[in-house]
Amino acid sequence: MPELPPIVEFRQVSKSFGEARAVDAVSFAVRPGEFFSLLGPSGCGKTTTLRLLAGFETPDDDGGEVRIDGEVVNRRRPYERRIGMVFQSYALFPHLSVERNVAFGLEEHRIPPTEIPGRVERAPGLVRLAPATYARRKPHQLSGGQRQRVALARALVLEPTILLLDEPLGALDLKLRKEMQLELKTLNRQLGMTFIYVTHDQEEALAMSDRIAVMSAARVAQLGTPAEIYENPRTEFVAQFIGEANLFGGVAGRAGGGAGGLRPILQADGRDLLVPDHPGLREGTEVRIAVRPEWLDLCAPGEVPPGENALPGTVGDVIYLGETMHVVVTLAAGARVRVALRNEGQLLNPLRWTRGDAVMVAWRPEDCQVLEPA
């Protein structure tokens, strides 16, 4: 089946505020029906990117093109774009009831009055908010989760082509936030609507997204599926921002210096690490490597499995995190690494390692992610 043309495209889009470049030559495409996230730290440009799509900001005069359904919309007003938006603050009218908040956009868009009651009654049902119970309540009579649902219903009632969500779960407690993540993903599948979601929470983006654009310093640092972003980070920024990563450095050795398509990386302390070889590696160049904590293991000295990378160290701390135990190891060279081990029940089957133990930190060469230069 041929791939559908993108519903949203950014082509080298830039936006400046005075001398500051908030979005710098950003390009990406979003597929119809996709759950697409813009992820990054505060100030990276993700919300400005969303506002450029919504029409609340316009690109610089020479700042590329924003396209919706193949048409350039740089100068189109927000109401001309068939887009719904849910804000972090929800932006509900405090003096209006739930049903009046939901109806407001329909009235502004001059939907025929005969259609409005039916649409207002249906929309809360999409977000599991019973109209009979909540229709007459004011926002101050609702919990945070209920207000968030009203904001969603108000956006969905307009039947937009694209729904934009600007950190809408930030004010919710952890348990409710996780519940709403699943509900938003289900709603995206159920409606077949394109969702474009802004967040600084990497776990949230990984849980919900079909694809993620990781932003840094006004640019897209990496674009891919959650698995691609997490398991194959391209840069040190992405490796550290998405989850946790242990970083190692060294100098690339000669191609073929390791068995089975592996290349040695010589560290400052004289020890070799083996990494998968690829054309980007050149003998004698500086290399940075990322390894996720859950890809590491701990062994007693002399018990390292054949063919694995291994570095000696001493257990400095053991951190209980429920599902996992993080063991902090100080390596012989002085660096500290985290090793994530499965918690098999500390009361009945306690962890083998305690503070002060001499250990080997070991991992398979194929679990090394060679990072691009910054």
pLDDT at 259: 60
Please write the tens of the pLDDT for every residue from 289-348.
999 999 999 999 999 999 999 999 999 999 999 999 999 999 988 899 999 999 988 888
Residue 169 has pLDDT above 80, yes or no: yes
Please write the tens of the pLDDT for every residue from 99-155.
888 888 888 878 888 888 888 888 888 888 887 888 889 988 988 888 888 888 888
Which residues, in sequence order, are bridge partners of residue 219?
216
Architecture of domain 244-298+308-370 in this structure: Beta Barrel (2.40)
The residues spanned by each domain of the chain are 8-240, 244-298+308-370
Please write the tens of the pLDDT for every residue from 60-100.
999 999 999 999 999 999 988 989 988 877 778 889 898 88
pLDDT at 189: 93
Which contiguous run of DSSP H or E holds residue 160?
Answer: none
pLDDT at 12: 98
Residue 264: count of CB within 10 angstroms of its CB = 22
Answer for the pair 144, 171: CB distance below 8 angstroms, yes or no: yes
pLDDT at 333: 82
The pair of three-digit structure tokens given for residue 247, joined into one six-digit string: 């970083």
- 3 state DSSP class of 163: strand
Average pLDDT taken over every residue of the chain: 90
Find all residues with CB under 8 Å of 214, minimum gap 6, and list them: 39, 40, 220, 221, 222, 223, 229, 237, 238, 241, 242
Residue 1 has pLDDT above 70, yes or no: no
pTM of the full structure: 0.89
Please write the tens of the pLDDT for every residue from 226-252.
999 999 999 999 999 999 999 999 999
The domain 8-240 having CATH identifier 3.20.10.10: the answer here is no
